Structure 1
């Protein structure tokens, strides 16, 4: 009998026991309370009201109770797909267990799968808090880790924009994407909805950067913070039906009550049912006929679109953009000098107006240009497939007789170098615009490196290849020297080094080795130029002349980073400017492996919660100059800046003498 009672007591205790937290913290930093004290009573009252509140059905509770030092603040947050009854049940379990595990601490936090509960004697509302935090991960490794991580990053970044734009009741988003081997990835992101859109985005972006630390190459993981959390798996772990119905119902006007003197009878009701039985099928049939007719009419249009989408890498895809030479002749007024926009190593660029009134920029390749038919077709294939707001758009091309022309969208504000290196015009670029330009270039490169169907390395990123539209949004141009990669390739070698001296990474100049990190190096130089308003080729300080990268490194190391900043920048956040210099120096590090990816750079630019590592010394500009004097062919091409032919000739001579550029020898 005694044994039976013992077993019964154990079973009852297990049934009534609270489920364990995923994780919890009892924080001692803000002091302790004693049993039956005012703080203790306020805490019990607050948590009891929170977990029994039936007026809130969107899963977020932020309440306070008490005054002065005895005031308690609490936040309860349920996962966005959890039903209200389950939410309250989860918070009630949290209330019981958290006060048991942390019986005296004034601040504590605990997480279940479905909810989080935290309380404190300090203000915790509308504030981003990333600590304390914890990770969990799936022990299984992902298939094709690189592609898996790329798909995962894109998925979570897309969900962040959805969640952060939520309202004050819910900042939550879920979604899925197809990963390697047709595997589906499911993702979830959530913030406490008292955060602003920017704070929510920053918190989630910071959580994403923790994935390599906790869950690198794993097929599932979580990063949990007090203010936000992310999770991904290769199976659906959220209730899709609840997500679909989680938004508040639309406001409905109340139905008018039937009049009290209604004459409706059973016969009347019968007539109504008869009318409905006749009318509804007829209406349904008519609607069905209309839908079938519309589908048949649109079928050819959809077929045409699908055919274009499925045409793949074949040259016939861009041939749909092909224009005849006569059309371009008319558009450019027979390539008149008054229409000329610029002159570069590949040939002149002209403004044109097509017959439909559209303004375009026509790049007419020189007969002596190094860009032959192969490079020309390469550029057509690349640019025709690229669609991004920070990339210049290809409108058409011409390959007729001996003429080879590319027709781009016309960008009215010319190129970045036209402004940033001009003593007068650079004043038009305040810090807000410069920061916007830096971010736009970074987004364009992330697209080229990771988000486009094909991995593309630009290899000639520079200020003159950044065009500015009417809103001063940057557009990366001139893919003539871009190297096309299959998606699993990360670097390549070439015996023909092409690019612009001062922007080229040392491993590319010296050994012909290029990768996405080559573009990262060029981006770093470009960032330093944008911040300083100075060309990398030479910074004159008194009698001394040194390159911008070396000058920036010395000043940053000595704590005099303000010396680098363009003196015309009288506005803008000093911290933001210094952070950009820091990021620029990280990009120009000599060791390829130490340079961040462009995706990481974009996170650094968008989120102050991302801690920046210390940069190592960049490659010496002078040593690169002497070592590479016999290895470099530099071509200048400015599709946006207006230059006379004499200016271009002078520039060409300077490039040969001062920039140690030597024409590549060819066999006789």
Structure 2
């Protein structure tokens, strides 16, 4: 294994052990506020058909610019969507934060709209245009801290000054600012963010409303004001991304860079030294065994499924957008052509959090041990490059959602074909639940996770959220996962027949 591969293994080990989490940025996916409308859509089927492409459009825009608006469909079932990452988030953290929006916001379905505030991003959809709204009838507040300041008088003075400062700076700085203010030995920090769809006047009005609202969280040491067009937070601790905002002095910036490089370099060099002595290899295997079970580490160690990263990069033409087949919460899928002419689907995964490690190893571990005509076949994986990749058989008809949400393609699926697809999916799930040696609950069955081969036979894919359970178990309790709106295939069938 080359030096890059060894460093990657060291990095994975350190990340899995939690040693480097503080050296990385934070997508800040703590949920600050979430509310769904109280009215349901006129047509839940049309809402679903419009919601999916609206979220896909937002995903592309947010990945490119950190902000986007999208309009799909016509009233009263149109979907107007908006998403905004806060300016201090890196591109990859923005993508991770938005993936949480895509995971939770569909829980509002079939309501006409909903909004969700994370501490790093915001998402909303409605059946009307709200892009120019600064304040509306829904004003959320989150005074999350149960701890009050031990110096209430000094704290209030510092809080008032920092809120005034961050509001003024945001108006001058394209709707975003962070600020800190100290009184005596006490410092309060604040962040303000307007959505990019607002003009300067509306942004100012929203910030004024937030400034007034957030003061009611005093004397709590942490508070948030959540309006239709902006977000504001204060805390007695720094909570934004230090490496991205411009308020740090040059000296403090240099200090953070030097500390990061020194600590990171020390960990990598120490890890390589341990690798050479043979200790890290044992620790890495043991750590994975402890965390994921004995089967996973041996599956990776003895697998013949390894692909070289460079080979897959070349096969996808450097992951060119023209080869992109789709995108999910954890990564994108590209069509690739290997050197021997085989067509494959390459799933490119984001590497930034512990959740990623769980998802990647879970998918490799589970799908590599099941075989059924209605399940996709894992051809291999790569962990030696800039991203980690999974390789599957390629299916030219892509996924089921391309048919049921496209009027022209939907005509191809007559009643018999639809019944065959439903039956095939049911057979695949029955195998996972009852017949497989490792019994599996998929937890994310939806149209985009059902691929269709050249004969329109279904293949279940995407096992990142799946969970296995013991043979003697009859019930399995898990957290809520997956996407609610993608279960409308049967409703859509009924509507068309």
TM-score, with structure 1 as normaliser: 0.31
Max Rg structure: 1
**Structure number with higher relative contact order (C-alpha < 8 Å, ≥ 6 residues apart):** 2
